[in-house]
Amino acid sequence: MTRYLAHPFDDDKLKEECGVFGVIGVPDAANFVALGLHALQHRGQEAGGIVAYDEREGFNNARRFGYIRDNFTKADVMQMLPGSLAIGHVRYSTAGSKGHTAIRDVQPFFGEFSMGGAAIAHNGNLTNAAALRRDLIDRGAIFQSSSDSECIIHLMAHSIHKSLAERIKDALRAVEGAFSVIAMTRTKLIGVRDPLGVRPLVLGRIGEDGYVLSSETCALDIIGAEFVREIEPGEMVVIAKGQVASSRPFNPAKSRFCIFEHVYFSRPDSILGGRSVYETRRQIGVELARESPVEADLVCPVPDSGTPAAIGFAAESGIPYGMGIIRNQYMGRTFIEPTEQIRNMGVRLKLNVNRALIKDKRVILVDDSVVRGTTSRKIKDMILDAGAAEVHFRIASPPTAWPCFYGVDTPDRDKLLAATMSEDEMRDWIGVDSLKFISLDGLYRAAGEAKGRDASCPQYCDACFSGEYPVAPSDQIAKGFTMKAAE
């Protein structure tokens, strides 16, 4: 019944909703999954779950609220998860019903079928889940959770196919939206990415015959696994007995990977689409310095997500780089039942200005994005209170003007600052001397597209900036969401 308060600060960020990880072919696979999920914790901090299969003990699962490191490192929990095949999931809480997640919403989801059990973990969001759920209930399904992802296991249950791998295909052909799914049966580890490949999923190798599936490469590093390749958009891999079998269950489509993974979601030490996230972010800073230069004394990151772009901006501009804002290292993600006074402290609990460095300087602050803008305002106040002469904001993404329906928690459109204001209005509202966003083309260039964005057929999903949704969000449209008018 405990109420958690999300960071006042984090409330002004877009949040990835999930990370997935699976291992086959190593003893005590759940231990590896726990480590992998720990490395993916930035993709979801509210809760985590692991399902493991052991020939003698069968399927076992554990679900816990809180960080992986606080739960899935305990011997008594891990002993309950024996076996050489396991998958796991970390979850961010959507601002859902009554503001809290029930433990039954925590993945992986498990189902018993006549041919044996199967578990699935899903990163992404199904855009037709509400309609599917209605139909499944009409056919006799009893839902355990309020999660869109549970549809997949019920679709599997109602498939007429004999093999579980076929049932997974069947189920995923019926869903729309973004999904990187990891599944397991008693003998197989399975990975699938939606036809557009919106969310990441990579394949790694460990030990003699072991294989790993992970949302990001940084989670391969922590367990010492070798990065093999990305699962391709629209690809399904079935791994068993040291063999990886690949197939293409969906109609072919042009890849539309989420560009915000490069900007903010993924960890800087991951490789996405063959490209270093850190390098892309540093290059965004370089592009920003070219597009929107300004005379100043100091380039400061808003820690920690603005750091690589700030390094790039400083290097390109020749303006010294410095830590003008210091982050409290002991700030967790949430406060439990905070007092009113604590609630009002906001960003101060997390950040402090390095007054001695800032005083009398013209400061360029580099941040990753502006969502509601409330945090930008507070940071500006702190910087000015500390005696800065000027404050210039440089933002490592274009204005965020549209919600994401593919697995990212975004405020309603009318809460997005960029949906209601021009760049100049935003500058005045935040109260800084200048405010500049990187251009969409600049972002594409930083992400390795030398010619920038291909407007007729964009190389990435950039719906949150452009309003161009590669998959129609049908549940949302049914609830009244208005898409951008065709131009």
Pairwise CA distance, residues 228 & 212, whole Å = 9
**Among the listed residues 18, 23, 24, 35, the single contact to a second copy using CB under 8 A:** 35
Distances (CA, A) of 118 to 26, 61, 190: 19, 12, 10
Of the pair 4, 481, the CB lying nearest a second copy is at 4
- Considering only residues 156 through 175, tell me which ones interact with a second copy, judged by CB under 8 A: 157-158
Residue 192's Cβ-count burial label (10 Å; 0-12, 13-18, 19+) is buried
- Considering only residues 311 through 340, tell me which ones interact with a second copy, judged by CB under 8 A: 311, 315, 320-323, 326, 328-332, 335-339
**H-helix or E-strand containing 21?**
strand 18-24
Classify each residue of 409-447 as buried b or exposed e, where b means 16 or more C-beta atoms within 10 Å of its C-beta.
bbbeeeebbbbebeeeebbeebebbbbbbbbbbbbbbbb
Find tokens 């891999």 and name the residue.
237
Stretch that binds a second copy, among 62-70, 123-131, 287-295, 387-395 (CB under 8 A): 62-70
Of the pair 128, 266, the CB lying nearest a second copy is at 266
Of the pair 49, 195, the CB lying nearest a second copy is at 49
Q: Is 473 in the site for a second copy (CB under 8 A)?
A: no
Of the pair 144, 255, the CB lying nearest a second copy is at 144
Active site (annotated) includes residue 18:
yes
Instruction: Judge contact between 436 and 291, C-beta under 8 A.
Output: yes
Sort strands 58-65 and 236-240 into parallel, antiparallel or unpaired.
unpaired
Catalytic residue among 18, 151, 218, 300: 18
Query: CA-CA-CA-CA torsion for 470, 476, 482, 486, nearest 10 degrees?
Result: 20
To a second copy, the closest distance from the beta carbon of 340 in angstroms equals 8
Q: Is 28 in the site for a second copy (CB under 8 A)?
A: yes
Determine if residue 368 is labeled as part of a ligand binding site: yes
**H-helix or E-strand containing 111?**
strand 109-113
Sort strands 362-367 and 390-395 into parallel, antiparallel or unpaired.
parallel
Determine if residue 457 is labeled as part of a ligand binding site: no
Of the pair 187, 352, the CB lying nearest a second copy is at 352
Site string for a second copy, 104-123 (x = CB under 8 A): x------xxxx---------
To a second copy, the closest distance from the beta carbon of 73 in angstroms equals 5
First-last CA distance in the chain: 49
- Considering only residues 276 through 295, tell me which ones interact with a second copy, judged by CB under 8 A: 276, 278-279, 282
Enumerate the known binding-site residues: 258, 305, 367-368, 404, 461, 464
Q: Binding site for [4Fe-4S] cluster: residue ranges?
A: 258, 404, 461, 464
Which residues are catalytic, by number? 18
